Structure 1
C-alpha cells in the first residue's frame, strides 16, 4: 500500500517546517508521497524537490489557492499546474498582496484590545518574502500570552464572526477551477464541510465547480466529523467527483499530524494522469 498525504504546508506560507524539514518529517512517518500545497505560492517547490532523493519520498507539487464566493472563503488545491502560467502567477500575486493588506488591518483592529504590533506579527514568519496572514497573527497572540495555541486564537479573537475580522479579495472558486485547468493542474476543493471554521460553499456552487472541471473533494480531513465525511461522499457521488484524504499538516502550528488521513493510490494515479507536471520521484 502506498501512503499518500497530498495536502501539507511549509514555512513558505503558514507552516512551521522548511520544505526540507517537511520532506524529512514525511520520511520519518513512512509516507511514500507528500503534496506540498502552500497558500498561493510555489516558493517551496524547488527546495522540497531537492530532498526527494535523500528522503525517498515522492513530491506532488501543488498550491492551496484562496477563493471567495458571496463572502464565503474556500480553498482549492491545485495539483501540479504549470507554475509559469501567466494568469496563475498573477492571481497568486494578487491573493498574497490582498491577504497581507487584510492582515495589517486585522492587527490594527486587534491592537485596540490586545498587546500586538505589526512587527511582532512579521517576526512569526519563518521564510523570506513570506506573505503575512492570520496564522502569523495567531502566533503573535500566543507569544504575547493571550492564547495558549494557534487554534485557540482562531476560535477566539480571530474568529470571522468578531469585529476584528476583515475580508480580503480572492477569485471566484468556479473561475479558479477553470484557471487551474487552463494551467494544466488538477483542482480539488479542500475541507468543503469544515463548518467549525466558517461558512461553507453551498452544494449548488460545488456543482458549478464540478461543471467547470473540479476533480474532487477532500473528504478525510481532521475538520470533518463522520457526518461531514458522509455528506462529502454523497456530494462527490452525485457530481461524479473523486474524494481525497490528507493531514493539512502545518508543523507545530496545528495539531494535524502527517499521514493522519491519506488518499488512495487509485485517486493519486488519476491526478497524475490529468496533470501537466510529473510527480518528482526518488
Structure 2
C-alpha cells in the first residue's frame, strides 16, 4: 500500500481526466497519490471528489517549471495554498510563457507540416496548462506521427530545430514562493540527464539553502549515478525522499502508476511540513 507522488491529468498534459487518474490509482492498489499538474491546480476539486468516491488518499500538488542559466528544473509543490497571491502571480507568468513558447514551436512546425495553432488548441482541455505534449497530439491528429512518443523522438526534442525554450523563474524563486504559500517544495527528476542539462551539487545545495525540503529520487529518468548523488544530498540535509511514476495516462507516456513509490515515513514528513492546504484520507 504505497504512495505515488507525481501524476498528471488533462488539467495539464496528461491524457486522462483527474477523476480517471484517481480511479486508476485505486484499481492499482495504491494507498494514495499526488496530482501534480504543470503550473495548475485546476484538477484538484475533481480529484478530491474521486478520492472520496474510491476511498484513496489524495495529496494536492503542482509541478512548477523553472530554469537556471543552463538547465530546466521542475519543482513539485505539495499542499500549498492554491490562492496564495505570490504563487498565483508566478503561475500566471509561467502559464503565459508556456503559451508563447507553444505558439513559436507550432509556427516552426507549420513551415514543414500541416499543423496550425488552432489544431494545437483543439488538443487542450479548457483551462489546462499547455505544453509540448499538446503539440505532439496535434502532430498525431495531422497524421504526421502515430503517437506522442514518436513526435518527441523525431520533432520536438530539445535538440530539434523546432524546439523553443521557455522563459521561467529561477528555481530558488519557486522554492521561496512555495514555502511562502505553505507548500513543500521537492525537486522532480533532478538527475534525468536524457532530458537535458542537470544541476550540479553546488546548485542543489543552493536550493536546499533556499528552503527546498525534498528530492524525487525514485523516478525512471534519474540515472543510477544521479540517484546516488541525490541520496547523498538527502542524507546530508535530512531531506524528504520521494518516488513516483510521473504518470501522464496510458496514451501519454509509458510510465505506469505506482512503478516507483514513496515510503509512508516520508509521506508523513511531507504532511507535517505543509501548512497551505490539507491532504485527503492520508494516514501513513
List per-residue Cα deviations over 1:199-257 (Å, max 9, x = no partner): 11222111100011111111111112433322322232334323210000000211111
| Equivalent pair of 2:40/2:128 in contact (CA under 8 Å) | no
Distance 1:120 1:194, change over 3 A: same
Q: Tell me what 2:243 maps to.
A: 245
Any idea what SS the aligned residue of 2:195 has?
coil
Please give the per-residue CA displacement for 1:139-193, whole angstroms capped at 9, x wherever unaligned: 1112333333222322321112222121222111011111111110000000001
The match for 2:102 is: 103
1:85 aligns with 2:76: no
- Report the counterpart of residue 214 of structure 2 in structure 1: 216
Matched-pair contact (CA < 8 Å) for 2:184–2:273 = yes
Displacement of 1:71: 4.3
Counterpart in 2 of 1:172?
Answer: 170
1:136 to 134, 137, 149: 134
TM-score, with structure 2 as normaliser: 0.94
* Residue number in structure 2 paired with 1:65: 64
**1:254 aligned onto 2:278:** no
What is aligned with 1:9?
Answer: 8
Contact kept, 8 Å, 1:16 with 1:253, in 2: the verdict is yes
CA deviation string 1:253-281 (max 9, x = no partner): 11111100000111100000011122112
Q: Is the 8 A contact 2:40 2:129 kept in 1?
A: no
Three-state SS of the structure 2 residue aligned to 1:260 is coil
CA distance in 1, matches of 2:85, 2:13: 24
The two structures, once aligned, show a CA RMSD in angstroms of 1.4
Match of 1:278 in 2: 278
| Larger CA deviation: 53-62 vs 151-160 | 151-160
**Which consecutive residues of structure 1, in runs of 5 or more, have no partner in the other structure?**
none
Deviation above 6 Å: which 4+ runs of structure 1?
Answer: none
Deviation of 1:65 after TM superposition, in Å, equals 0.5
Kept after mapping to 2: 8 A contact 1:97/1:131 = no
Verify the 8 A CA contact 2:218 2:227 in the aligned structure 1.
yes
> 2 CA distance for matches of 1:182 and 1:131?
23
Matched residue SS, 2:150: helix
Distance 1:239 1:148 in 2: 45
What's the counterpart of residue 114 of structure 1? 113
Query: Residue 196 of structure 1: SS of its match in structure 2?
Result: helix
* Contact map agreement 1:103 1:132 (CA 8 A) in 2: yes
Deviations 1:107-156 (A, max 9, x none): 0011112222112211212x212232111001111233333322232232
Query: Separation in 1 of the partners of 2:202 and 2:112?
Result: 40
SS at match of 2:162: coil
Cα distance between partner residues in 2 of 1:4 and 1:129: 27
The CA distance in 2 between the partners of 1:234 and 1:32, in whole Å, is 28
